[in-house]
């Protein structure tokens, strides 16, 4: 079985890049993978041009005759499907809602192009159970390597409220800043926002900004009071699994995918009723007073049994074999 994996951020810090790297590492003894990534294919390293330049380089790159299946991990790259191959797309989140939130009506031609490309897919999977159910796609969840997280020591500093993401309206850093300030004023709790370059925002006693390696993110998570998710739109982010593996409680805005996870797995995430920063404070106060209880142990058990790479990767292998007509 020869599979072409296409993802520009393979092996990088993005959720989809780590997902594809784990898929490759876990199945490489059973699947003969070829990888097209930013490193192997190249792109123009300017923010607005990275995806389109990577796409154009791939478009004019020859696909080997011995490739049986093309597996793309970026909805914007569906134009790379080939009519003479089996084609699989994995959607990492709610691309439509996120793109509309970011770009408004300007994104309509891109959405039209993606939807036309979806017609060529022999299978569409999605890491987000909410979007998968709504769109009629197959849910293959996000995954992590639990053992790699266990090897990382917790940060040697005072606990903080933690936020992880990019400086993007969808991730809603502004809401976290309001929560952080109130939490400091009421409870004396400090906060840390990861993924934001130092100097972009003025730092205060109550908040610090850092852009750090993945290992450092995990070390901070193991020491945090809680991970706070303030996104307006989210799929099933890898950071949720990393928090569970790190035994870090999660407090989240009412994001449909997070609510769906609670429906599937039980009340594993504390979901706040609305985006008012005041609504987050009772949840924070409860964690400070009582601690996370047995919730973190339950979440740790769930991630080991259901979302470790050794489990999730088998779901992809089963899909590959079915599409290629292989019985085992």
Q: What is the CATH number of the domain that holds 254?
A: 3.40.50.2000
pLDDT tens digits, 251-269 = 999 999 999 999 999 999 9
Report the pLDDT value the prediction gives residue 68, as an integer from 0 to 100: 96
Print burial letters for 195-234: b (CB count within 10 Å at least 16), e (below 16). Answer: bbeeeeeeeeebbbbebeeeeebbbbbbbbbbbbbbbbbb
Asked if the structure places residue 159 within a domain, the reply is: yes
Residues 161, 231: one domain?
yes
- Its pTM stands at 0.90
Asked if the structure places residue 284 within a domain, the reply is: yes
Residues 317, 275: one domain?
no
By C-alpha distance, which of 195, 287, 183 is closest to 238? 195
Half-sphere exposure of 214 (CA within 13 A, CB side): 15
Residues 103, 228: one domain?
no
How far apart are the C-alpha atoms of 303 and 245, rounded to whole Å? Answer: 7
Report the pLDDT value the prediction gives residue 328, as an integer from 0 to 100: 56
Report the pLDDT value the prediction gives residue 82, as an integer from 0 to 100: 92
Enumerate the β-bridge partners of residue 317.
Answer: none
Residues 128, 7: one domain?
yes
Asked if the structure places residue 125 within a domain, the reply is: yes
Residues 195, 277: one domain?
yes
Residues 138, 158: one domain?
no
Report the pLDDT value the prediction gives residue 199, as an integer from 0 to 100: 84
Report the pLDDT value the prediction gives residue 179, as an integer from 0 to 100: 98
Asked if the structure places residue 130 within a domain, the reply is: yes
Residues 298, 164: one domain?
yes
User: CA–CA distance from 288 to each of 188, 252, 285, 293 (Å)?
Assistant: 11, 16, 5, 11
Residues 60, 207: one domain?
no
Asked if the structure places residue 68 within a domain, the reply is: yes
User: CA–CA distance from 236 to each of 164, 172, 202, 220 (Å)?
Assistant: 14, 16, 31, 21
| N-terminal to C-terminal alpha carbon distance within the chain | 11
Split into its structural domains, the chain has a count of: 2
Can you list the alpha helix ranges (DSSP code H) found in the chain? 15-27, 38-41, 50-59, 95-103, 108-118, 129-135, 146-150, 173-187, 214-223, 238-245, 256-265, 277-290, 295-306, 309-323
For residue 274, give both structure tokens: 């609305």
Asked if the structure places residue 328 within a domain, the reply is: no
Residues 154, 248: one domain?
yes
For residue 312, give both structure tokens: 């999730």
CB 270 within 8 A of CB 290: no
How far apart are the C-alpha atoms of 244 and 204, rounded to whole Å? Answer: 29
Report the pLDDT value the prediction gives residue 198, as an integer from 0 to 100: 82
* Residue 168 CB coordination number (10 Å): 14
Mean pLDDT, consecutive 10-residue stretches, the chain (328 aa), reads 94 84 96 94 83 91 94 91 94 69 65 79 94 93 96 95 91 96 97 91 92 94 97 90 97 95 94 96 94 92 96 97 83
Report the pLDDT value the prediction gives residue 25, as an integer from 0 to 100: 96
β-pairing, 138-139 vs 86-91, is unpaired
Half-sphere exposure of 49 (CA within 13 A, CB side): 7
pLDDT tens digits, 137-180 = 999 999 999 999 999 999 999 999 999 998 888 899 999 999 99
Asked if the structure places residue 93 within a domain, the reply is: yes
Residues 195, 118: one domain?
no
How far apart are the C-alpha atoms of 91 and 31, rounded to whole Å? Answer: 21
User: CA–CA distance from 2 to each of 7, 31, 64, 301 (Å)?
Assistant: 16, 6, 10, 34
Asked if the structure places residue 286 within a domain, the reply is: yes
Domain limits for position 241: 147-306
User: CA–CA distance from 61 to each of 31, 65, 324 (Å)?
Assistant: 22, 13, 24
Residues 177, 300: one domain?
yes
For residue 195, give both structure tokens: 């993924």
Residues 76, 219: one domain?
no
**87 three-class SS:** strand
């Amino acid at each position: 079985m020869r599979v072409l994996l296409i993802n520009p951020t393979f092996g990088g810090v993005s959720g989809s890049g780590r997902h594809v790297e784990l898929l490759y590492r876990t199945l490489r003894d059973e699947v003969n993978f070829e990888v097209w990534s930013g490193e192997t294919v190249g792109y123009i390293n300017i923010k607005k041009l990275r995806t389109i330049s990577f796409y154009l380089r791939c478009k004019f790159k020859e696909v080997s005759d011995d490739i049986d299946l093309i597996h793309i991990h970026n909805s914007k790259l569906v134009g790379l499907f080939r009519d003479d191959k089996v084609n699989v797309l994995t959607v990492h989140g709610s691309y439509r809602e996120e793109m509309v939130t970011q770009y408004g009506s300007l994104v309509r031609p891109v959405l039209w192009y993606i939807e036309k490309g979806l017609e060529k897919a022999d299978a569409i999977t999605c890491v987000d159970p909410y979007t998968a159910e709504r769109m009629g796609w197959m849910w293959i969840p996000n995954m992590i390597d639990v053992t790699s997280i266990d090897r990382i020591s917790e940060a040697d500093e005072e606990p903080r409220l933690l936020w992880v993401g990019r400086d993007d309206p969808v991730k809603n850093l502004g809401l976290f800043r309001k929560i952080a300030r109130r939490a400091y004023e009421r409870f004396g709790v400090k906060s840390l926002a990861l993924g934001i370059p130092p100097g972009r925002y003025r730092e205060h006693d109550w908040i610090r900004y850092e852009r750090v390696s993945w290992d450092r993110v995990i070390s901070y998570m193991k020491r945090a009071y809680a991970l706070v998710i303030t996104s307006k739109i989210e799929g099933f982010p890898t950071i949720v699994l990393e928090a569970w593996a790190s035994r870090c409680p999660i407090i989240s805005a009412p994001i449909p995918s997070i609510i769906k996870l609670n429906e599937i797995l039980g009340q594993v995430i504390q979901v706040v009723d609305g985006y008012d920063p005041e609504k987050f404070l009772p949840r924070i106060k409860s964690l400070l007073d009582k601690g996370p209880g047995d919730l973190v142990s339950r979440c740790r058990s769930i991630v080991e049994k259901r979302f470790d790479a050794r489990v999730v990767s088998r779901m992809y292998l089963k899909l590959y074999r079915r599409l290629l007509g292989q019985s085992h």
